[in-house]
């Protein structure tokens, strides 16, 4: 019999530790990530870096990072990033920059080298999405106003973490910080992100739509993993990390209507390899040597808790929120996130971070995760303290932009036109630049091998100009006949000059692109190149075929980009536009799903009178495919309804407590396994009290909740016997019911 590979034995030990501690931490109501880290610390006593096949465990851990980032990408989506609003952008950027600076300063105070201090700052600037969502659920804070702000900040932090990984890799390789190098790396990263996002959004949703009838769960799982690992390969070939590729593909798939299905199917794989990764994080901690790091662990823990809370609160205040909301949001972000481990692992692999710093960060993470629920509960006392101590003028200044009605800002026609024009021009020109770069780097050498000399250049130029032609046409023509353009042209002659300038600028931009292609391939002079560029642009703009082609390309991209949003808006309890027009910041909309055991089920809105008792307003009731907007008092609440409620945080808390009055009682009932019905037979004995009674009068159905489905008497049987049939000695009665009730009938 062949010997069991050591890798399997190690994996069995890792998963056994993870399973045991996950149960313990579930019982303690602690985050599962913490359980895996502690399991890794325990496993480190049995498996060390010196054990055989340890590198295979590291490989599995790297696979875990890939699927972890793929899962985060599925939850991320660039559409979510566009919707988080100025509050989350301002707060998150202020928080990240401040924490990186504070981390760097802390590292310098410890006497650490600059590179190690930079990585420390990067590791402590990220909060944990997984931990925060769990604590929000445990403390029933999900429907609070500040919770939406916190989740928006976390979305931006995810993207910032991905950017940091690339920038830190570039800095670590050269071991110095250079502005030009950072800008080059950032431009390369943004180009990679934008190109694959645009191409992926154009192709992948269309592919999934057309293959929909073939995509069962197995097929879509395999295809999603193929997309993920394919992008991982492309990212590594381009000089980026595998984690970046997984994150990008996850964010592309998140825009499809199949994203929830993919996320559900990928969850077990993500959980398995994610567990291995977090256990491997814990295995890096050497308990015996932690005593020598106790001072930096304590200091950095204080820096994280105080720094995150302070800077997050300040950032949210700077974005225009009131004091109470800002403190609640800031105190929620006082822990280290999953990206801290990934950035730490990156530093280890690049050789710029020692294992000691990794152990310190893991220990700080454990401490800050434990303190997170207490910090969230501390936000109310902290707010009360600040309201007592701060002068009223300061409080009025902090709250002045966060209350009352805010009129809608009417964008000028010029602003709207220039914004749309600049956006479309930038996107189409960027796509053209990428196509030109790709063609000159890969297509041109290949063409020269097949057709040396001028013929190869002509073929390359023809293919390249054909590829960029719809985008060049779109840059020149787009928005020239829009409502804003024509209205501004008609309003005043003074607008003619600036409007013509926008056209001339775009024409010159496209002329420069075409001339660049001609210079690279034919080394022609300026006059000939410019003349050819003008001729080609006239041909592009006059071509009806290109007009149709460019419109089809744009229409498909918009359809794919917006399909998930449109699909969900058609089923959402309340539209995004309505949610954005809530006049007061303190008021917000929340959805509540009505469970069968809720105390309000079956009652009318008039009977419940929510507005009088709780101050909330029922805006919409969603019942299946039906939407009841502004329901009247005679509308009843049914199980499965979704109700959209408008109110403040305090009103929402009171309302939720009323909804869930019966939850504890119901949970106790659910904890006990409910008896199942079974089919059984009993024989009527000579002493039975059933003799002479009809089935109807026997009480079998009324008192014992059982159903008589058949009777065997002598040599024949009756199926579904008449209820007025009298039972006789020796009858065999076939019953369906709960086992305990059948036993009681047999005792009769």
pLDDT of residue 670: 47
Alpha carbons 259 and 264: distance in angstroms, whole number: 8
| Residue finishing a domain among 633, 649, 671 | 671
Domain of residue 592: give its range: 584-671
Identify the band that residue 403 occupies on the pLDDT scale cut at 50, 70 and 90.
very low
Q: Which residues contact 683 (CB under 8 A, 6 or more apart)?
A: 730, 731, 732, 733
C-alpha–C-alpha distance, residues 424 and 444, integer Å: 28
State yes or no: pLDDT of 211 exceeds 80: yes
Instruction: Please indicate, yes or no, if residue 51 is contained in any of the structural domains.
Output: yes
Backbone angles phi, psi at 713, to 5 degrees: -135, 120
Q: What's the rounded mean pLDDT across residues 300-308?
A: 91
Asked whether residue 400 is assigned to any structural domain, the reply reads no
| Rounded (10°) angle between helices 32-43 and 259-283 | 40
Same domain, 667 and 689: no
- Asked if 220 and 116 sit in the same domain, the reply is yes
- Which uninterrupted H or E stretch holds 676? none
Q: Long-range pairs for 34-37 at CB < 8 Å and ≥24 separation?
A: 34/366, 34/369, 34/370, 36/275, 36/278, 36/279, 36/281, 36/282, 37/278, 37/279, 37/281, 37/282, 37/285, 37/362, 37/365, 37/366
CATH number of the domain bearing residue 610: 3.30.70.1450
Would residue 379 count as lying in a domain?
yes
What integer is the mean pLDDT of 595-622? Answer: 80
Is the dihedral angle over the CA atoms 434, 437, 441, 447 positive or is it negative? Answer: positive
- Given CA atoms 683, 688, 691, 693 in this order, what sign does their dihedral have? negative
**Distance of alpha carbon 316 from alpha carbon 565, whole angstroms:** 27
The answer to whether position 395 is within a domain reads: no
Predicted local confidence at residue 623, as pLDDT: 81
Question: d(Cα 729, Cα 716) in Å, to the nearest integer?
Answer: 15
Q: Assess whether 30 and 163 both reside in one domain.
A: yes
From residue 173, give the alpha-carbon distance in Å to each of 166, 169, 235, 529.
11, 6, 18, 41
**Phi-psi domain of 270 (left: phi exceeds 0; alpha: psi -120 through 50; beta: other):** alpha
List Cβ neighbours of 623 (8 Å cut-off, separation of 6 or more): 638, 640, 641, 642
Evaluate if residue 667 carries a pLDDT over 60: no
Q: What percent of the chain has pLDDT over 70?
A: 87
Identify whether residues 39 and 125 lie together within a single domain. yes
| Residue that finishes a domain, picked among 671, 699, 717 | 671
Same domain, 495 and 534: yes
pLDDT-based confidence at residue 190 (cuts at 50, 70, 90):
confident
* Separation CA 311–CA 97 (nearest Å): 10
Q: Which of 97-101, 366-370, 547-551 has the lowest mean pLDDT?
A: 547-551
Residue 102 half-sphere exposure toward CB, CA atoms < 13 A: 23
Instruction: Looking at mean pLDDT, say which of 343-347, 360-364, 583-587 comes out highest.
Output: 360-364
Q: Are both 186 and 251 inside the same structural domain?
A: yes
Asked whether 417 and 483 are in contact (CB, 8 A), the reply is no
Please give the Cα distance from 163 to 189 (Å, whole number): 8
Give the pLDDT confidence score for residue 672 in this predicted structure: 52
Q: How confident is the model at residue 226 (pLDDT cuts 50, 70, 90)?
A: very high
Predicted confidence at residue 292, as pLDDT, reads: 80
CA distance 662 to 609: 19
Q: What pLDDT is stored for residue 400 in this prediction?
A: 56
Q: How confident is the model at residue 408 (pLDDT cuts 50, 70, 90)?
A: very low
pLDDT of residue 409: 38
Q: DSSP H helical segments within 238-293, as ranges?
A: 242-253, 259-283
Q: How high is the mean pLDDT of the chain?
A: 80
pLDDT of residue 105: 92
Same domain, 242 and 363: yes
Question: Is residue 401 in some structural domain?
Answer: no
Q: Is residue 391 part of a domain?
A: no
The model's pTM is 0.66
Q: Which two tokens stand for residue 545?
A: 């075929």
Checking if the pLDDT of 567 tops 80, the result is no
User: Which of 618, 643, 671 corresponds to the end of one domain?
Assistant: 671
Tokens linked to 519 = 């210079």
Checking if the pLDDT of 304 tops 60, the result is: yes
Burial of 474 (0-12, 13-18, 19+ CB in 10 A): buried
The pair phi, psi for residue 143, each rounded to 5°, is -90, 5
Q: Are residues 289 and 432 in the same domain?
A: no
Radius of gyration over alpha carbons of the chain, in Å? 33
List of residues 6+ apart from 517 with CB closer than 8 A: 436, 461, 464, 465
Q: What is the largest CA-CA distance in the chain?
A: 117
Q: For 524-539, how does the pLDDT look when each residue is reduced to its tens digit (9 = 90+)?
A: 788 888 888 888 888 8
In a domain, 654, yes or no: yes
Q: Which residues contact 446 (CB under 8 A, 6 or more apart)?
A: none
Same domain as 700, residue 664: no
Lowest mean pLDDT among 207-216, 305-314, 491-500, 554-563: 554-563
Q: Residue 610 in 3-state DSSP?
A: helix
What is the rounded distance in angstroms from the CA atom of residue 472 to the CA atom of residue 700? 83
Burial label, 146 (beta-carbon count in 10 A; 0-12, 13-18, 19+) = buried
Quick one: pLDDT at residue 30? 77
Same domain, 312 and 164: yes
Query: 389: pLDDT confidence band, cut at 50, 70 and 90?
Result: confident
Q: CA–CA separation, 499 vs 504, rounded Å?
A: 9
Helix, strand or coil, per DSSP, at residue 211:
coil
Alpha carbons 236 and 217: distance in angstroms, whole number: 29
User: Is 121:353 a contact under the CB 8 Å cutoff?
Assistant: no
Is 42 within the bounds of a domain? yes
Burial of 626 (0-12, 13-18, 19+ CB in 10 A): exposed
551 plus 630 within the same structural domain: no
Pairing of strands 716-719, 677-683: unpaired
Identify whether residues 666 and 681 lie together within a single domain. Answer: no
The total number of structural domains in the chain stands at 4
């Amino acid at each position: 019999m062949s010997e069991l590979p050591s890798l399997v034995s190690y994996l069995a030990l890792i998963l056994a530790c993870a399973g045991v501690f996950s149960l313990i931490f579930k019982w303690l109501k602690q985050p599962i990530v913490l359980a895996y880290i502690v399991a890794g610390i325990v496993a480190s006593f049995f498996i060390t870096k010196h054990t055989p096949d340890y590198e295979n465990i590291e490989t599995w851990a790297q696979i875990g990072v890939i699927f972890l980032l793929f899962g985060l990408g599925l939850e991320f989506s660039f559409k979510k990033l566009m919707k988080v609003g100025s509050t989350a952008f301002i707060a998150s950027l202020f928080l990240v920059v401040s924490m990186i600076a504070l981390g760097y300063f802390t590292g310098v105070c410890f006497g650490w080298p600059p590179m190690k201090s930079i990585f420390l700052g990067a590791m402590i600037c990220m909060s944990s999405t997984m931990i925060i969502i769990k604590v929000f659920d445990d403390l029933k804070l999900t429907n609070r106003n500040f919770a939406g702000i916190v989740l928006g900040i976390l979305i931006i932090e995810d993207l910032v973490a991905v950017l940091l990984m690339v920038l830190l890799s570039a800095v670590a390789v050269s071991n110095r910080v250079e502005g030009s190098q950072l800008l080059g790396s950032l431009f390369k990263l943004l180009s990679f992100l934008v190109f694959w996002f645009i191409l992926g959004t154009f192709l992948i949703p269309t592919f999934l739509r057309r293959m929909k009838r073939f995509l069962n769960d197995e097929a879509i799982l395999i295809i999603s993993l193929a997309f993920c690992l394919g992008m991982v390969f492309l990212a590594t070939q381009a000089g980026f990390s595998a984690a970046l590729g997984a994150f990008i593909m996850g964010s592309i798939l998140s825009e499809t209507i199949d994203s929830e299905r993919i996320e559900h199917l990928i969850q077990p794989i993500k959980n398995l390899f994610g567990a291995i990764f977090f256990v491997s994080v814990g295995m890096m901690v050497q308990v015996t040597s932690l005593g020598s790091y106790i001072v930096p662990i304590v200091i950095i823990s204080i820096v994280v808790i105080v720094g995150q809370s302070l800077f997050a609160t300040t950032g949210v205040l700077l974005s225009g929120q009131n004091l109470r909301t800002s403190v609640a949001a800031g105190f929620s972000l006082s822990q280290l996130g999953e990206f801290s481990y990934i950035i730490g692992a990156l530093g280890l692999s690049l050789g710029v971070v020692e294992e000691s710093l990794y152990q310190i960060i893991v220990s700080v993470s454990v401490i800050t995760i434990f303190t997170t629920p207490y910090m969230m509960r501390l936000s109310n006392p902290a707010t009360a303290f600040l309201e007592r101590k701060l002068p009223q003028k300061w409080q009025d200044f902090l709250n002045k932009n966060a209350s009352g009605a805010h009129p809608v800002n009417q964008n000028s026609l010029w602003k709207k036109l220039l914004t749309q024009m600049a956006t479309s021009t930038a996107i189409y020109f960027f796509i053209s630049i990428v196509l030109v770069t790709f063609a000159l780097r890969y297509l041109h050498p290949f063409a020269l091998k097949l057709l040396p000399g001028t013929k190869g250049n002509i073929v390359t130029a023809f293919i390249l100009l054909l590829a960029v032609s719809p985008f060049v046409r779109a840059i020149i023509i787009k928005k020239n006949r829009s409502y804003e353009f024509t209205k501004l042209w008609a309003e005043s002659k003074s607008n003619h000059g600036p409007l013509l300038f926008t056209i001339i600028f775009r024409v010159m931009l496209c002329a420069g692109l075409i001339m660049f292609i001609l210079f690279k391939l034919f080394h022609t002079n300026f006059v000939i190149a410019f003349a050819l560029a003008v001729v080609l642009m006239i041909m592009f703009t006059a071509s009806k075929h290109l007009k149709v082609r460019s419109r089809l390309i744009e229409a498909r991209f918009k359809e794919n980009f917006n399909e998930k949003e449109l699909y969900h808006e058609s089923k959402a309890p309340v539209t995004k536009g309505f949610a954005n027009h809530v006049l007061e910041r303190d008021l917000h909309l929340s959805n509540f799903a009505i469970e069968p055991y809720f105390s309000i089920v079956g009652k009318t809105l008039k009977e419940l009178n929510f507005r009088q008792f709780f101050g909330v307003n029922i805006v919409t009731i969603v019942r299946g495919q039906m939407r009841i907007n502004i329901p009247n008092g005679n509308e009843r609440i049914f199980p499965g309804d979704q109700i959209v409620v408008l109110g403040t945080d305090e009103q929402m808390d009171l309302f939720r407590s009323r909804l869930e009055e019966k939850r504890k009682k119901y949970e106790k009932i659910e904890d006990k396994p409910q008896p199942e019905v079974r089919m059984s037979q009993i024989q009527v004995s000579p002493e039975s009290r059933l003799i002479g009674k009809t089935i109807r009068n026997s009480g079998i159905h009324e008192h014992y909740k059982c159903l008589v489905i058949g009777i065997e008497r002598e040599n024949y049987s009756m199926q579904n016997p008449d209820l007025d049939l009298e039972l006789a000695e020796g009858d065999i009665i076939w019953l369906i019911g709960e086992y305990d009730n059948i036993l009681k009938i047999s005792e009769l």
